Amino acid sequence: MEISPFFFFLFAGLAIVFALMVVLLKNPVSSAFSLVLMFFSFAGIYAMLDAHLIAALQILVYAGAIMVLFVFVIMLLNADVPTLDFGKRGTLLRWLSAAATLSGLVIFSKAFVTNSVFGLEGTHTSEKIAQVGGNTQAISQLMFSDYMLPFELTSVLLLAAIVSAVTIAKRKRDHNDPNNQGSAL
Amino acid sequence: MMTSTVEPWVVLTFSAAIFFIGLFGVLVRRNVLVILMCVELMLNAVNLTFVTFSKQLHDLGGQLSVFFIITVAAAESAVGLGLVISMFRTLRTVDTDDIRLLKE
């Protein structure tokens, strides 16, 4: 694929470093902000792969909406005290998890190296996309023709998510317990 | 020697690496919020795989799948964080090892 190796390895290295920071840092707030930076690195890679709409959505939805939600909940719960939460579970289990994930990575990369191309070629070559008027235009035309039903179902899903999030997070009033009335949570 | 292209398997292996970093976090961490963040990491890695195949096979269906995955991820994190708030209200903790109501 015709992408610049320098920028790809720059963004990929940054993304791996920030992903490791998400997993290894003790403070949830530090994890959240490392995750934001990892989302930005991913947006750079998406832009290099000619997925401009996805790159913009990555920043708007992930780095904008989802991360604000995460940071807001961390602040709301006041749970941002550093917790060394690898501690109690035991080193053996931790090393077993590391070995399992590493072997999974080895299997996947082996599969990717040996069968580099598998699948049917589609019709959306870069010339055709440029002829239609760019990546966003081509995706929109597909979305409102072939992918109309999933697109509409997405709105139902979002409505269900809104209703369930409000219902789950709503504070239940306990009238028998006078101590419970005033607390914020 | 530097070539001017990046092979697809490099990008795919990179996204697999991010996926397994996220999986490791889900297995090892005990803070529910960090576990949710690691799930987001894994979803992002899958998105990158979709976009790579979309570019490689000249098919925009992969990028549309990423669009739907992003929507599902937003819904998932909203409901998940609602559950975390509800859990913190009853148990006063976000630690997975302290959720043992059925055991006691």
Predicted confidence (pLDDT) per residue in A32-88, tens digit? 999 999 999 999 999 998 889 999 999 999 888 899 999 888 888 875 555 555 555
Please list every residue in chain B whose beta carbon sits closer than 8 Å to the beta carbon of residue A77: 33, 84-85, 88, 94
pTM for this structure? 0.87
Q: Please state, rounded to an integer, the average pLDDT across all residues of chain A.
A: 83
Considering only CB atoms, B81 lies closest to which of A73, A85, A126, namely: A73
Q: What is the chain B residue with the closest CA to A82? A: B31
What are the CA-CA distances from residue A138 to residues A14, A87, B25, B64, B76 (Å)?
A: 30, 50, 37, 10, 28
- Residue A117 and residue A132: Cα distance in Å, rounded? 26
Confidence of residue A174 (pLDDT cuts 50, 70, 90): low
Rg (alpha carbons) of chain A, rounded to whole number:
22
The pLDDT of residue A81: 58
Confidence of residue B15 (pLDDT cuts 50, 70, 90): very high
The pLDDT of residue A175: 55
- Residue B23 and residue A116: Cα distance in Å, rounded? 24
Considering only CB atoms, A5 lies closest to which of B3, B53, B66, namely: B3
Q: Tell me whether A127 touches chain B (CB under 8 Å).
A: no
Mean pLDDT over B14-40 rounds to 91
On whether the CB atoms of residues A162 and B78 are closer than 8 A, the answer is yes
For residue range A98-110, what is the model confidence (pLDDT) as tens digits?
A: 899 899 988 888 8
Considering only CB atoms, A168 lies closest to which of B3, B17, B82, namely: B82
Best A109, A117, A121 member to test B by mutation, with max B CBs in 10 Å, is A109
Q: How far does Cα B73 stand from its chain's mean position? A: 8
Contact A23 B97 (CB under 8 A): no
Q: Please state, rounded to an integer, the average pLDDT across all residues of chain B.
A: 88
pLDDT > 50? residue B1:
no
Helix axes B32-56, B8-28, angle to 10 degrees: 170
pLDDT > 80? residue B18:
yes
CB-facing half-sphere around the CA of A140: CA atoms within 13 A: 8
Considering only CB atoms, A31 lies closest to which of B16, B37, B56, namely: B37
Confidence of residue A28 (pLDDT cuts 50, 70, 90): confident
Task: Give me the residues paired with residue B95 across strands.
Answer: B31
The pLDDT of residue B98: 78
- Residue A36 and residue B94: Cα distance in Å, rounded? 21
Contact B9 A116 (CB under 8 A): yes
Mean pLDDT over B8-29 rounds to 90
What are the CA-CA distances from residue A7 to residues A1, A15, A72, A151 (Å)?
A: 13, 12, 33, 33
pLDDT > 50? residue A18:
yes
Q: What is the chain B residue with the closest CA to A20? A: B21
Q: Tell me whether B65 touches chain A (CB under 8 Å).
A: no
pLDDT > 90? residue A126:
no
Contact A105 B17 (CB under 8 A): yes
Contact B60 A53 (CB under 8 A): no
DSSP class of residue B4 equals S
